[in-house]
């Protein structure tokens, strides 16, 4: 898994494991859109749509500045 920073937020990219993670119910998943916005995933259909469109799916980790201040 990789990470990505968008608008100051660090995301753990889980696109290939999104359905398994969604099913577990342990984390909120978000579609990361090309315009730097994100939307909460609320169904398997949204996962399928995102994957078909080549969009990344991620779990929000933390604000980058918060992480940087902890180092």
Task: Report pTM.
Answer: 0.85
- pLDDT for position 8: 84
SS3 of 7-52: CCEEEEECHHHHHHHHHHCCCCCEEECCCCCEEECCCHHHHHHHHH
Does residue 71 have a pLDDT over 60? no
Is 68 or 9 the better-scoring residue by pLDDT? 9
pLDDT in tens, 12-53: 999 999 999 999 999 999 999 999 999 999 999 999 999 999
């Amino acid at each position: 898994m990789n990470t990505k920073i968008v608008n100051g937020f660090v995301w753990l990219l889980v696109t290939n494991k999104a359905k398994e993670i969604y099913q577990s119910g342990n984390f909120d998943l978000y579609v990361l859109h090309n315009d730097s916005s994100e939307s909460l995933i609320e169904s398997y259909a949204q996962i399928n749509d995102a994957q078909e469109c080549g969009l990344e799916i991620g779990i929000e980790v933390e604000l980058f500045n918060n992480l940087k201040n902890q180092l």
